[in-house]
Amino acid sequence: MIRGCADGTGGRIAVLVASTPPLVTLDDIEAARRLLAPVVRRTPVESSEHLSGLAGRPILLKAEHLQRTGSFKIRGAYHRIARLDPAERAAGVVAASAGNHAQGVALAASLLGVKSTIFMPATAAFPKVAATRSYGAEVVLGGGVFDDCLADAFAFAEETGARLVSPFDDPLVIAGQGTIGLELAEQAPQAGTVVVAVGGGGLISGVAAALKALRPGIRVVGVEAEGAASMAASLKAGETVTLDRIDTMADGIAVKRVSDLTLAHVTALVDDVVTVSEEDLSRALLVLLERTKSMVEPAGAAPLAAALAGKLPDDDGEAACLLLSGGNIDPTLLIRVIRHGLTAAGRYLILRVALHDRPGELHRLTGVLAGLGLNVVDIEHHRSGVHLAVDEVEVHMTLETRDPAHRAEVLETLRDAGYRVKPADG
């Protein structure tokens, strides 16, 4: 069939889908909710006046990062494993994941008395590996990215007879994730748009299947990281496309290839798929942490990143509900992302200042900065460089600033004071 699909820029392009796998139905999702009711949390939806002001439209937040295991993944994983017959359960399950699906499968398998083996990238964050093991799974580390681990999991399933629990390429998994859509229809009836992060596409497939059945006029928008936009590439090509490489801090949505099943759902049910930059992601994560006290991972911050970057369709005054899909972030990554987000938001200014190499010059410089009410976060001296004279030294400084306008004021004041100064990123 021919379907108009978004190219991430607001335009529409026509794509040809040669064959369409059967889509998950509302009945499938409602059956999943009955099975999951004793297991998963009904996570809250809350409004945010501050985020609404920043985005220029009413903003609601679906706090799925407060779900068991810290992400939505327990929904699909438990539903899939609970549907196995006794012989399949006895053979155990296997999965591949950078962290969230791993934890969902591990806990679900443990609750159902099923042995689980999880293949995770060698670079997976230690807290995610430790959490997966704590839920009872056997963890095998190897491979550079999720797709490498998925190949290992397929091989393990072939060798042992274990059942592969896909993070997205399974109707039962999609139906489990779709229970979030049922909750949203009840909790956020005022939302005209629902925004969902996209990795392999299982989450948005399920959410869209539920919402479009219950509220056909609602808009569903997917968000990918620019460095891992496999769904956008597949929509444009009209078939699943494998990316040559992926490059994003958002490991929860870092997938080289979506599936035919999720592509079919997105083509049929999703109104737009947009992309966001690493700066957008880090800025959104910082805003969520500061203003809503929500600790989410970069993938979970993707919907807000799209809202703040002006990537969502016109709202006509209707609210946008952003699905915060996960909160499992490595503390060391959190530190780096906060620093990156502060810089992207104009809250950090990193300068290179040339000074005469003589006593008192640094004191004079810090006096100028103190007069501006600035806090110096970090400072380093460099006594060599092709652009420095013999009697000069370069000082690298990190300063706390209020916003981009304040950054510009600082640069102008220093130059007026006679300093040769340049932003480190300029």
What tens digit of pLDDT does each residue of 321-377 get? 999 999 998 888 888 887 777 777 767 788 888 888 888 888 888 888 888 888 888
> Are 329 and 353 part of one and the same domain?
no
What is the distance between the alpha carbons of residues 74 and 179, in angstroms, rounded to a whole number? 11
Span of 170-174, 299-303, 392-396 with lowest mean pLDDT:
392-396
Q: What pairs with residue 197 in β-bridges?
A: 223
> Are 237 and 321 part of one and the same domain?
yes
What is the distance between the alpha carbons of residues 276 and 278, in angstroms, rounded to a whole number? 7
First CA to last CA distance, the chain: 48
Give the pLDDT band (50/70/90) at residue 5: very low
| Helix (H), strand (E) at residue 163 | strand 163-164
Q: Where is pLDDT greater, at 46 or 99?
A: 46
- What pLDDT sits at residue 142? 87
- What pLDDT sits at residue 19? 67
Q: Where is pLDDT greater, at 355 or 164?
A: 164
> Would the pLDDT of 7 be above 70?
no
Give catalytic residue positions.
73, 325
> Would the pLDDT of 11 be above 50?
no
What is the distance between the alpha carbons of residues 171 and 167, in angstroms, rounded to a whole number? 11
- What pLDDT sits at residue 381? 75
> Are 182 and 147 part of one and the same domain?
no
Residues 254 and 278 sit within 8 Å (Cβ to Cβ): no
For 180, phi and psi rounded to 5 degrees?
A: -65, -40
Residue 409's domain comprises 346-423
- What pLDDT sits at residue 3? 40
> Would the pLDDT of 4 be above 50?
no
> Are 239 and 368 part of one and the same domain?
no
> Are 116 and 235 part of one and the same domain?
no
Residue type, 205: S
Write out the two tokens for 296: 């989410």
> Are 199 and 217 part of one and the same domain?
yes
- What pLDDT sits at residue 296? 95
> Are 337 and 350 part of one and the same domain?
no
> Are 62 and 139 part of one and the same domain?
no
Number of folded domains that form the chain: 3
> Would the pLDDT of 231 be above 90?
yes
Span of 37-41, 302-306, 349-353 with lowest mean pLDDT:
349-353
> Would the pLDDT of 72 be above 70?
yes
Q: Give the CA radius of gyration of the chain.
A: 24
Give the pLDDT band (50/70/90) at residue 384: low
Beta strands in 198-295 (DSSP E): 219-225, 272-276
Best CA proximity match to 76, nearest among 2, 1, 176? 176
- What pLDDT sits at residue 9? 40
> Are 244 and 293 part of one and the same domain?
yes
> Would the pLDDT of 379 be above 90?
no
> Would the pLDDT of 420 be above 80?
yes
> Would the pLDDT of 390 be above 80?
no
> Are 208 and 257 part of one and the same domain?
yes
The SS3 call for residue 204 is: helix
Beta strands in 39-115 (DSSP E): 45-47, 59-63, 93-96
